[in-house]
Structure 1
Amino acid sequence: MKPMKRLVHKDGFWAFLMLLPNVLGFLLFLLLPVLATFAISFSDWNLTDSFQWRGVDNYKELFEDKVFGQVFKNTFVFTLVSVPIGIALSLVLAVFLNQKLRFVRFYRAAFFIPVISSMVAVSVIWQWIYNPEYGLLNYALSWFGIDGPAWLTSPRWAMPAVIITSIWKSLGFNMLIFLAGLQSISDSYYEAADIDGAKWYSKFARITVPLLSPTTFFVTVMSFINSFQVFDTVYLMTQGGPARSTSVMVYYVFQNAFQYFRMGYASAMAYVLFFIVMIVTFIQFWRQKKWSVY
C-alpha cells in the first residue's frame, strides 16, 4: 500500500489524472478517426458493403476527375480573393475602432455579432439581401441606374456573393485580433513620430504595420486554413451551384461521402486537402522570418 500512497501524493499522478479525459477524447474522437480515414482512402466503401481494397486508385482518380479540378480552382479563387480583402478590411476597421470614439464599445460589439451568429441565420439574411427582385443590394444598385444581377443563381456572380458573405461573417473576429495587437503597441512610438512631424500614413506604414506583423501573421495563417475549409456558406446559400460555380473542395468531399456514398474517394480527397493546407501553412511559417520584425 505504501507505493500506492506515494504515487497518489505525487503531483505527476494528479496531473495525469486531470489530463486523462482530454487525452482519451483526443485519441477516440480525433486521432482514431484520422487514422481510420487514411485507411478508408485506399478502399472502395459505400457504408453498407464490405471493404474493397483499391490501393492508390482513389488518388489517381482525383487527377483525372474534371469536377475535382473545378472545385480545386473554385477553392483557390475563394482563398485568393477572400483572405487578402478580409485581412485588409479587418485591419482598417481595427485601426478605426482603436481610436477614442464615442460609443466605441458599442461599435466593437456590433461588428463582432456576425462572428457569434448562427450561419443558418446569416445565410437567410444574405439570401434575402441578394434576392434579385426585392433584395436590398439590387435596390441600392438601382439608385445608380444599375440593374443588379441574380446573385446566387448566376454562374458569374454566385462566387463573389459567397465571398462577400464569408468576409462579412469573419470580419469581426479578425478585427478583434488586430485590435488586441494594436493595443499592445506602446504609445511612445507614436509620440516620438509626432515630435518628428510624421503624417498619419507614415506612422501607419512605419510603426503600425511592422509592429503588428506577428498579429498579421497569425490572422493570415488562420484565414488561409479557414478559407480552404469553407463549407457551411456554400452548403446553405448555393448548394455548390449554379453549374458548380461555387462548389469547393470540402463541399465536394461531403457530396462524395454522404450523397454518392463513395467514402474511399471522399477520404482520399480529404487527405489531399489536408496536405495542401499543411504545405501552405509550412510555407507561411518558413516565410515568417522574412516579414516579421520579431
Structure 2
Amino acid sequence: MYKLKLRLTPFFFIGPAVFLLIVFSIIPIFISLGLGFTDMDLLGLADWSKVQFVGFDHFENIFKDDVFIKSIGNTFFYVLIGVPIVIVLSLAIALLLNYGSNMLFSGFRAVYYMPSITNIVAVAVIWSFLYNQEYGLFNYLISSLGFDKVPWLQDPLMAKFSLLLLAIWKNIGVDMIIFLAALQAIPKMYYEAAEIDGANRWQKLKYITLPSLSYAIFFVSVTKLIGWLQFFEEPFVMTGGGPLDGTVSMALFIYQEGFQESRFGYAGAASFILFIIIIFVTIVQFSFKKREEM
C-alpha cells in the first residue's frame, strides 16, 4: 500500500495541470478539426441534424480566400519583425539592469515590467486615443515640431507598424525578467576567471554571458513565436482588422468567421491550419537547437 502511494503521489501533483491541458487545449484541437469537415453554424448548434459533412471543402476554399491569405501574410509580418525586436530589446534592457541592484535599478525593473501585467484591452484603448489622427497625443507632438500628421491607424502599412509598436512595448517586461533571472544564475567565478585572464567587457559578454543564456534565449524565442503567431488583441481592439484588412491576423480571422459570421466549420478549418503552422515552426526551432548542441 505504501509503495502504491509513492507511485501515485506524482500523479496527484501533475493531475490538475494535465486535466486542464486536456480539457482546454487538446480536446478543443480535435473539436476544431472535426468542425472543419462540417458546415456547422448557429442553426447547426440548435439542431445537430442539420449539420452536414462537407469533407475537405473548407480546407480547399480557405486557401482561395483573399482575406485568409492576407491574414497569413500579416501574421508573419508581425512575427518576423516583432519577435526579434522584443528578444533583442528585452535582452539589452536585462543586461543594463543587471549591472546594478540599488533602488534606482529596482525602480526601472518595475517600470519595464509594468506594461506586461496591465490589461491589454485597456492598454489598446488608451493607445487608440494616442494614435488618433486628429486629436491624438502623438500627432499633436509631431505637428508641434512642424511635421505632417501621421495616419497611424488609417493606412494599412502604418497600422501594422503601429500595432507592432504597442505589442513590443507590452511584451518586453516578461522576457526581461526571464533574462534577468538567467543572468543572475551565471556563476560569478566565470567572470572573475576571465578578468584574471585580462578579458574586457565585450569578451566576457561574447564568451561567457551569451553562451550561458542560450537556453533562456531559446525558451523566449519559442514562446514568443507561439504567442505572436496568435496575435489577436491589438488588431481586435484597435483596428478590427482594417483598414482594407491590412491588420487582420489569422487569430482575428478565425474569431471573425466563427463568432461574428457564425461559420464555425470554416473557422475550425482555419484554426487547425494555424495549429499546424505553430507545430511546424516549433519543430523547426527544436531541430535547429539540436543541431547547435551536436
Q: Structure 1-normalised TM-score?
A: 0.90
Match for residue 288 of structure 2?
A: 287
| CA deviation vs aligned residue, 1:198-234 (integer Å, no higher than 9, x gap) | 3322322222111111100000000100000011111
Which is further off, 103-112 or 169-178? 103-112
User: 1:40: which partner in 2?
Assistant: 35
Decide whether the 8 Å contact of 1:214 with 1:292 is kept in 2. Answer: no
SS at match of 1:223: helix
SS of the residue corresponding to residue 131 of structure 1 reads coil
Give the C-alpha shift of residue 122 in structure 1.
Answer: 0.7
Residue aligning to 1:234: 235
Deviates more, 1:204-213 or 1:71-80: 204-213
Residue number in structure 1 paired with 2:207: 206
In structure 2, the CA distance between the partners of 1:23 and 1:193, relative to structure 1 (3 Å rule), is closer
Greater displacement, 21-30 / 82-91? 21-30
Partner of 2:273: 272
- Report whether the alignment pairs 1:62 with 2:57: no
Return the alpha-carbon distance in structure 1 between the equivalents of residues 65 and 218 of structure 2.
34
**Deviations along 1:77-106, whole A, 9 cap, x unmatched?**
010000001100000000011011542112
Per-residue CA shift, 1:171-190, capped at 9, x if unaligned? 00010011111111122222
* Cα offset, 1:12, TM superposition: 4.4
1:256 is displaced (CA, Å) by: 0.6
Opposite residue 51 of structure 1, the aligned amino acid is V
Q: Is the 8 A contact 1:210 1:292 kept in 2?
A: no
Identity of aligned residues (%): 39
Residue 218 of structure 1 is matched in structure 2 by: 219
Against the structure 1 CA distance between its residues 283 and 200, is the aligned structure 2 distance closer, same or farther, given a 3 Å change threshold? same
- Give the distance between the partners of 2:67 and 2:189, measured in 1 at CA: 55
- The separation in 2 between residues aligned to 1:291 and 1:23, in whole angstroms, is 31
Rate the CA distance shift 1:13–1:256 in 2: closer, same or farther, 3 A. same
Change (3 A) 1:187 1:7: closer
- Matched-pair contact (CA < 8 Å) for 1:41–1:268: yes
In 2: Cα distance, 1:203 partner to 1:141 partner: 42
TM-score, reference length from structure 2: 0.90
* CA RMSD, Structure 1 to Structure 2 (Å): 2.3
Q: Which runs of 4+ in 1 moved over 6 A?
A: none
Query: Contact 2:29 / 2:272 at 8 angstroms: preserved in 1?
Result: no
Please name the residue that 1:154 is paired with.
155
- Contact map agreement 1:213 1:291 (CA 8 A) in 2: no
Structure 1 letter corresponding to 2:136: G
| Cα distance in 2, alignment partners of residues 158 and 220 from structure 1 | 25
- Of 19-28 and 45-54, deviating more is 19-28
Match of 1:79 in 2: 79
Deviation at 1:18, TM superposition (A): 6.3
Q: Which residue of 2 aligns with 1:30?
A: 25
Q: Which runs of 5+ in 2 are unaligned?
A: 45-49
How much has 1:260 moved relative to structure 2? Answer: 1.3
Report what 2:97 is aligned to: 97
Gaps of 5+ in 1: 1-5
Q: Which amino acid aligns with 1:46?
A: D
